[in-house]
Structure 1
Amino acid sequence: MPGALREETSRLLADYLQHRLGATPLPPPPSRAAETLRRVGAELESRERAFFRSAALPEPGQAAALVSRVAAQMEAEGGLNWGRVVALVAFAGSLAAALAEERGAPGREESEEVAEALAAYLAGEKRAWMEEHGGWDGFYHFFNKHGSDPADQNSTISNAIMAAAAGFGLAGLAFLLAVR
């Protein structure tokens, strides 16, 4: 399972970043979890656009380290949950887009390093948590409550996103603004 979780995490993050960077043609999501991650990540980024745009670009070669520090800081502020996983992925996507826009091809290379750092964190350091919560299948089921009506699903997504944004805002915003 550890190898499979790492592989799936890397594939999902690569897909999300490709989606976020506006790859054309954009292939269909490789799984239900990838489709959900695209949807929920976009919703979080849309709702918290000002926050994601307030982050300063790190020095060249430091983007992966920044994502790792934000993950550690956010976890210290209240632990991991699916909403915070989405927040980390959305932050990585927003950072990747800003790097690509600002630095061109070198920024895209840094984006790959960001994805690898986040995959190492989620499938390595947080592997036990991920497995305990069903891995990416658990993520999919958390955000897609089958049998519930669309209003309940939207409520689940909104609640998770609000919890993530609140936690991410406290930890991440303070940290990000400090590195400007």
Structure 2
Amino acid sequence: MPGPLKEETALLLADYFQHRLGGTALPPSPAAEALRRAAGELESREQPFFRSCRPLARAEPREAAALLARVAAQLEADGGLNWGRVLALVVFAGSLAAALAERGEDPARLADVLAAYLAEEQREWLEAHGGWDGFYHFFNRHGSQPADQSNTISTIMAAAGFGLAGLAFLLAVR
């Protein structure tokens, strides 16, 4: 039986995927709103990169989910988890989900894999960093006003550490 952290994680990811795929419902929580906003900023800033990830979802949803799990493991292995890496991973998953949905495939397996990774495998890290309230406070602390957008994205990318170049390398050698 899933615990509260996994349920919250699954709800946040489902909301983000729905939003990413064109849903218009209001975010169910401040953390969901922060996730939508920060993910949108990152994806907008790095649009060519995330667009280039979409062909990776040409495979079946199961294979796309396996790729997501490998990317998550590599991000962790290359310096540990942080909020920037969590955000980059969610945006990467959203790009894969959009590509699957365009083909009529159900991207739910991606959300399941990512929720399990974050709320089960990374539970201790997530709890130590305040859970999704910690995510909300981290991204609100760094601001998101239009004047701060470049600084916000720079902060996110610095927090990700490994960055998109490392993710691109990982994808190229898969």
Give the TM-score taking structure 2 as reference length: 0.88
Deviation of the 1:174 alpha carbon: 1.2
In structure 2, the partner of 1:32 is 30
In structure 2, the partner of 1:128 is 124
Q: Distance in 1 between matches of 2:153 and 2:27?
A: 22
Provide the identity percentage. 60
In structure 1, the partner of 2:153 is 158
8 Å contact kept, 1:45–1:52: yes
- Partner of 1:173, secondary structure, is helix
Give the TM-score taking structure 1 as reference length: 0.85
Which ranges in structure 1 are unaligned for 5 or more consecutive residues? none
Structure 1 moving runs of 4+ over 4 Å: 148-156
Q: Distance in 2 between matches of 1:156 and 1:37?
A: 17
In structure 2, the partner of 1:91 is 92
Write out aligned runs for 1:24-63 (5 A).
26-55=24-53, 56-58=55-57, 59-60=59-60, 61-63=62-64
CA, structure 1 residues 33+7, in 2 after alignment: closer, same or farther (shift >3 Å)? same
Aligned-pair RMSD on alpha carbons? 2.4
Q: Distance in 1 between matches of 2:111 and 2:144?
A: 34
CA, structure 1 residues 92+155, in 2 after alignment: closer, same or farther (shift >3 Å)? same
- Partner of 1:144, secondary structure, is helix
- Partner of 1:94, secondary structure, is helix
8 Å contact kept, 1:84–1:164: yes
8 Å contact kept, 2:82–2:160: no
Task: Determine whether 1:169 maps to 2:126.
Answer: no
The amino acid that maps onto 1:131 is E
Write out aligned runs for 1:85-124 (5 A).
85-101=86-102, 103-104=103-104, 107=105, 109=106, 111-124=107-120
